[in-house]
A and B are shown apart, each in its own frame.
Chain A
């Protein structure tokens, strides 16, 4: 077979959209010498074809006949342009290349036989560019070292794929005779991330067995015992000192978050904290499940791939919950360093926040959109301390039959792996995610990056839903962190399993048995099938070209046996594997920091402050991001992420209507405020819970059917002073869940989010707790949105405004942190939520918006410009505490549990009656003027701004 090289260019009369966007990014880097960028697609195709059929492939398949042209062979720089630099970007060998796979299939349709196919991108940079500029452009814009190779001005094609076959050899990693130093060294050398106590436990076990472990046995233990998989920190026993007062928890999770769930004991909670996602009742026939995961480390190295596999992975959680759910919504919450950070201030080994953000958004976009799942809710938070450790939270909600919420694998069931093939991608992902990042990680852990192909996952989803409908399997789970090891190990935990690793279909030759077992290659699920159903289920998979392979069976001896070509390479006790991990006891400390309130002179006018807060990155509009996600697919949206008369206001939460034939809805929201954690993580966590719940209530969610999820992203929790805040936050989760009568149903933690710079300084992320929440909406026709609806309607504030500017955006723009962090009145807050929910259900309100980041003034501005209507507000009507007398604290305090509600004059009495005994007051009315006016208690105007100006201030910062 001959290798054909095709280059596909845009015809000169059609704009090169990709080339132009690269040029724009080069300019953003401050390089002005590049005049133009031409981009081309490169295909390297081995085919049984003559010139004629190659021309046919070029013309009919690879090129758009109207706006593109192709060149067979390697084209030189454009004629007459001597100063051109040619750069090619190729995928590293072994990296998944979905386009190549599609091209092979399409050429088969054309009747042309192909061998290996690879794709690449070529860039022609015009202008007088220096070598170092070329390198910078290649490294910072065009390619990612982790997965791609750059070839500059060379004729050589990149190295071919892995072809060398694997020669079987059983490897033992002797451990029995090692001393402590040797144990630690072995763990480090093999990237096991097992600490000394764990290594000692394993050593003792193998001494008792009287043999040495094989490599794959130790790898299995390292993966199963990793922080990522067993959450040993959150389950440890804790001795906590709070301002010198001693507290003890036997098991932190069980004594806080689980405890609340258990105590609340809701009949509508179907399966909590046990499966891949938490499951709650939706209606009489259906249940919904929700899971949020982090994918921080991979996204730091490869923002696009890391985020794509983050969303791809979390989608498989509901797909692998119970007997499998159909995904109906995605959520995404990101934390980045400031996007305007100077390039020279970025630590070595770290990508620029703007590049990370663009890559992460594109990754979530491309994977989520291709899966056909609407991305409906999210948030983005910026802070200096996320520079080395960006956080990427991805969530997915699925719907399933209520009678299919539990798995039932039995001995004798056949183990089938479905979906993608296995490659070296993602090896050590689970253990990697449990360690700390250094400036060298990029080089050392590039193999931990995983590569996704959403279409493989979508095809797999399509057939699994059919197999589920036909009840052809007994259990299902996803291959996530830890790969087959985790999936088979978990499913067979109470049974036993035998797996023949040579059966597992591979992307390329050369993988050894241990790599096959722990690979975290994407888009794979494991199912347990009765022998008599194997043929029928595989027929369904085959019918839509989805690969499925029998790799072993479940047994009843509680042993995990792995073989390769008939030779036993592992024999492990399931009990030791799953329950052998030593229990930890940890120390935690929380000392309330000595903080004070700043002294800022009170002013007569706060126009500038309002505009400045609207333009701060955390508050500013995220339309640039939101529009890149398909939030309408599946036709279920009721309250969309962008709302208002011009579809550009910020919704508090999303509402979807997941069943075509029912008006029952699901409200989805989140809450997070890391800045409060710098003052007190207890109140940070309660603020997150209150905010997530407020958001649900604002759109019409029921107050009595709220389910919560926790996702902790923290620094190194072996440090008592880092762990202390996590304990504080966990206590708050317990107290919040009980007070709001809203159980946690699922959670996850990502610890050790610290970055070691080259000079040895450590950057730890701020303690970041994401609270995600869902609730039921009885009738979606009753939902409301946050935009002001009609002139002359009345505006009320329900909930008390206190002197709580600590951690506020107002203080932030003034350069202060403050001390008075917003608290939550656990007595009153749930009552307010319940009453607002009733008011909306009774149709007494036409819009509702919560006061959150930036406080009352921001919320009023958002309601006004989203509705295209003016607001006249008067702070005399504002319900407030005695100490909240200053104008700035009334305008910008971020006190929790506050709602702004728009009520039609004819509903005034009914609304006021419902709010009786709650702190509420009329703060103004909606007007036909295009102005926001706020009067202070003395009757003087403190804010008067044009709506367009307000909207521009809010939209501009992130309007990329």
Chain B
């Protein structure tokens, strides 16, 4: 079978790169962690990969706003290579800080950069503080290749700035009608709700977004932290589970590359 190659971006303050690399390897990809300086030095680096992952962490301390400084760096040094990567039909995944970076760089929800930046952002949780908790996620779209429609998954969040907001209702309607809402926060029974079901106050309970192609996914929860059954908070009650819910995202990505690229 074709060797799928994934690159996990590192930068100052990124701190989920190792477990993300491990998740990709579990899914069968060959994964490499790479510092952003190396890609800026040699932009053809990305040519060797089919999946790019923007992992979690606190890039540049989340100074100014979460993901902002790294997004600014990407906009000014790597926007074209990343655009080229996407245009070549390849995949991009942003997790937590990586999602914040993709949104602030105008890559998600995407299309026109400035318009994207002006219509959607991610800001401080309503609770005003960092929170680590497990959440249920319900897929909302059939167009995102990372997602198995209809399969509710259970993942941890760990963030202070995870509230997705849109400029106005029109922008929200646009996301809905284009099928760009990837995941919503729900309760165990699949129903939307207030805090803590929706842990940060995201508009419409949005937990993740995809672009118009369905090949870019950004989400606040951490799929790489639930790749083995033993990471489930209730694993000792669920002895027959064989897989962590987060693997579905990495498995789908690897499968897509094997079948399509």
Contact = CB atoms under 8 A, between A and B. Distances in A.
Interface of A: 14-15, 17-18, 20-21, 41, 60-62, 64-67, 98-99, 101-103, 105-106, 109-111, 365-366, 369-372, 453-455, 458-459, 462, 543-545, 626-635, 637-638, 640, 643, 645, 647, 657, 660, 780-781, 783-785, 789, 846
Contacts of A111: 76
Interface stretch (B176-184, B207-215, B229-237): B229-237
Contact of A65 (B121, B124, B126): B121
Given A638-B230, A660-B22, A785-B236, A372 B15 contact: yes
Interface stretch (B44-52, B86-94, B129-137, B142-150): B129-137
Given A14-B165, A103-B63, A459-B12, A66 B37 contact: no
A317 B18 CA distance: 22
Given A103-B64, A630-B158, A66 B72 contact: no
Contact of B121 (A66, A627, A633): A66
User: Nearest 9 A-B pairs (CB), nearest first?
Assistant: A372-B15, A102-B63, A635-B19, A66-B121, A17-B124, A99-B63, A455-B61, A630-B158, A370-B58
Contacts of A106: 60, 64, 68-69, 72-73
Nearest to A780: B230
A628 B12 contact: no
A161 B233 CA distance: 50
Contacts of A626: 132
Interface string B13-41: 10110110011000000000001011000
Contacts of A635: 19, 22-23, 224-225, 227, 231
Contacts of A102: 60-61, 63-64, 69
A372 B72 contact: no
Contacts, number: 160
Contact of A462 (B10, B132, B165, B236): B10
A462 B77 CA distance: 22
Contacts of B140: none
A647 B72 CA distance: 37
Contacts of B130: 365-366, 369, 628, 630
Given A629-B132, A632-B225, A66 B64 contact: no
Given A372-B15, A543-B37, 17 more contacts: A15-B126, A21-B128, A61-B68, A65-B121, A66-B120, A66-B167, A102-B63, A110-B72, A455-B12, A458-B13, A628-B129, A630-B130, A634-B18, A635-B19, A638-B235, A647-B233, A657-B230
Contacts of B225: 632-633, 635
5 contacts: A66-B120, A109-B77, A632-B158, A632-B225, A635-B227
A647 B65 CA distance: 30
B166 interface: yes
Contact of B64 (A18, A62, A543, A629): A62
Interface in B105-138: 117-121, 123-126, 128-134
A462 to B, nearest CB: 7
B58 A455 contact: yes
A635 B231 CA distance: 7
Nearest to B161: A17
A627 B233 CA distance: 14
B98 interface: no
A62 B68 CA distance: 9
B174 to A, nearest CB: 14
Contacts of A545: 12, 37
Given A18-B124, A64-B121, A109 B35 contact: no
Contacts of B57: 370, 372
Contacts of B236: 783-785, 789, 846
Nearest to A458: B13
B139 interface: no
B156 interface: yes
A783 B37 CA distance: 42
Contacts of A785: 236
A640 B61 contact: no
Contact of B69 (A105, A629, A633, A638): A105
A66 B13 contact: no
